[in-house]
Amino acid sequence: MKKRLVYYEIATYVRHKNALVITGMRQVGKTTLLRQIYEDLGPKPKLWFDFENPLEQKVFESPDYRNIYENLLSNAGSGRKPPVVFIDEIQNFPPITKVIKYLLDHYGVKFIVTGSSSYYLKNLFPESLSGRKFLFELPPLSFQEYLYFKDALTLEAALKPNLLRALQRKTIIDFESRRPAYEDYLRFGGFPGVVTARLSREKKLALKNILASFFEKDIKLLSDYRDVRELRDLILLLVPRVGSQLEVSKLASELGVDRPKIYSYLEFLQGTFFIRLLSKFSRSVDRSVAGGRKVYFTDTGLLSVLGNVNDAQLFENAAINQLAQYGSVDFYNLKNTAEIDAILEKKTAFEIKLNGTKQDIHRARKLAGKLKLRRAYVLSRNFKDIPGLAFPMFL
């Protein structure tokens, strides 16, 4: 089985003393990635725990952490040499973080763990673990990684995406060679199990199962059934709003809840990697001055399953997700009179159009200049041989 690209980055930290934390939405391949690291350690003393099984949590429940350490040594059969401890889905047993800190500090035990929600993980790890962990986020496949999984791109090429090279002018031959793959990527997204499925009906079924898993496992942590229903209804309200600035007051009115609850739901959905919220561009360090945010879904396959969006929304959503692999993404809007869809790392402006034109490029460059941005491009879904026009299928 092919490895996710982040594996090759994580592998360089396996020998470091810090704990490694791999987080991301369900079904993106965290458990498979963890198992690959486990197997590649060979004969090195190691232990595996799945915290979705309550029985496997019991090893870490002793109030005396020294007993936990002795049990780990005994189970690993490694004499007095500390084993590498692998734990899948640590959010199911919050007390584990105190155990990790103690065993790391006192015995040098190496932990490599996964968790499905930054919403919980950010509060799960105590401040005392600051500087003792490396955090890796595993998103759905990027388009480059999609091509690698489809054997259309070499590992070396997929590992070294170059934004400036991707934005260079392409020929119609280059464009057409990747069009079928990109259309499939737009429609079905980047979950590994969906990408590797052969038939469209299998892909759709896999996406429905991923959505069901999200509601059954992540949302079950919301104890109030009413909250679950409200969250479901909010998700459905967000679908037609893809690419638009959120009006929280209007959402609250439509759901019949107060504004603070909408904010908490949005935080939850972003923390579980279900949606992506873009802030307004600002040179200020305090991002709160940027005002309302735009909403996107982290996978276009899930978006398509949840409801109907037009081609422009689907394309813009995919392009935003692709740009996010290169750094932080904001947007700019001046009272609905001037707008830039995406600003990458506060340096490069991107307008996203189904059919980019010279006029679009001119407007983007003019506005980028006023904002003192270094570069400006128009990302187009359809091909035209125009300088300044770029195509997300090469990102």
Q: Considering the domain boundaries, does residue 152 fall inside one?
A: no
pLDDT at 382 exceeding the cut of 80? yes
Burial-class residue 55 by CB neighbours within 10 Å (0-12, 13-18, 19+): exposed
Q: What is the pLDDT of residue 290?
A: 37
Q: What is the pLDDT of residue 206?
A: 97
Q: Are residues 105 and 175 in the same domain?
A: no
Q: Which residues contact 262 (CB under 8 A, 6 or more apart)?
A: 234, 248, 251, 252, 255
pLDDT band at 241 (very low <50, low <70, confident <90, very high): very high
Q: Are residues 257 and 387 in the same domain?
A: yes
| 3-state per-residue secondary structure call for 242-289 | CCCECCHHHHHHHHCCCHHHHHHHHHHHHHCCCEEEECECCCCCCHHH
Separation CA 191–CA 99 (nearest Å): 33
Mean pLDDT of 3-18: 96
Q: Considering the domain boundaries, does residue 126 fall inside one?
A: yes
Separation CA 80–CA 70 (nearest Å): 9
Q: Are residues 299 and 370 in the same domain?
A: yes
Q: Is the dihedral of CA 179, 181, 184, 186 positive or negative?
A: negative
Q: Considering the domain boundaries, does residue 386 fall inside one?
A: yes
pLDDT digits (tens, 9 = 90+) for 35-64: 999 999 999 999 999 999 999 999 999 999
Q: Are residues 240 and 320 in the same domain?
A: yes
Q: Considering the domain boundaries, does residue 37 fall inside one?
A: yes
Query: Which segments of the chain does DSSP mark as H helices, in order?
Result: 6-10, 30-40, 54-57, 65-76, 96-107, 118-124, 143-149, 155-159, 163-166, 172-188, 192-195, 200-213, 225-238, 248-255, 259-271, 300-306, 311-324, 358-370
Cβ(33)–Cβ(4) below 8 Å: yes
Mean pLDDT of 234-261: 96
Q: Are residues 79 and 27 in the same domain?
A: yes
Which range, 97-106, 156-165, 180-189, has the best average confidence (pLDDT)? 180-189
Q: Which residues contact 104 (CB under 8 A, 6 or more apart)?
A: 17, 18, 19, 110, 111, 132
Q: What is the pLDDT of residue 372?
A: 95
The structural domain count of the chain equals 2
Comparing 41-45, 78-82, 317-321, the range with the smallest average pLDDT is 78-82
pLDDT band at 289 (very low <50, low <70, confident <90, very high): very low
pLDDT band at 127 (very low <50, low <70, confident <90, very high): low
Comparing 76-85, 240-249, 333-342, the range with the smallest average pLDDT is 333-342
Cβ(145)–Cβ(321) below 8 Å: no
More confident residue, 300 or 123: 300
Hey, what amino acid is at 87?
I
Among the listed residues 390, 333, 330, the one whose alpha carbon sits nearest the alpha carbon of residue 361? 390
pLDDT at 128 exceeding the cut of 90? no
Q: What is the pLDDT of residue 168?
A: 95
Q: Are residues 266 and 343 in the same domain?
A: yes
Q: What is the pLDDT of residue 279?
A: 96
Range of the domain at 317: 161-190+216-394
pTM exceeds 0.85: yes
Q: What is the pLDDT of residue 288?
A: 43
Cβ(29)–Cβ(192) below 8 Å: yes
Classify 292 in phi/psi space as left (phi over 0), alpha (psi -120 to 50) or beta: beta
Q: Considering the domain boundaries, does residue 365 fall inside one?
A: yes
Separation CA 343–CA 330 (nearest Å): 5
Q: Considering the domain boundaries, does residue 172 fall inside one?
A: yes
Separation CA 208–CA 103 (nearest Å): 40
Q: Are residues 116 and 57 in the same domain?
A: yes
Q: Are residues 110 and 236 in the same domain?
A: no
Q: Are residues 240 and 378 in the same domain?
A: yes
Separation CA 328–CA 342 (nearest Å): 10
pLDDT band at 325 (very low <50, low <70, confident <90, very high): very high
Q: What is the mean pLDDT of the chain?
A: 92
pLDDT digits (tens, 9 = 90+) for 269-283: 998 899 999 999 987
pLDDT at 291 exceeding the cut of 90? no
pLDDT at 187 exceeding the cut of 70? yes
Percent of the chain with pLDDT over 70: 93
Q: Are residues 380 and 290 in the same domain?
A: yes
Q: Are residues 174 and 322 in the same domain?
A: yes
Q: Are residues 95 and 239 in the same domain?
A: no
Q: Which residues contact 150 (CB under 8 A, 6 or more apart)?
A: 181, 195
Classify 27 in phi/psi space as left (phi over 0), alpha (psi -120 to 50) or beta: left
Q: Considering the domain boundaries, does residue 255 fall inside one?
A: yes
Q: Considering the domain boundaries, does residue 246 fall inside one?
A: yes
pLDDT digits (tens, 9 = 90+) for 138-174: 999 999 999 999 999 999 999 988 999 999 999 999 9
Percent of the chain with pLDDT over 90: 81
Domain CATH for 122: 3.40.50.300
Q: What is the pLDDT of residue 342?
A: 98
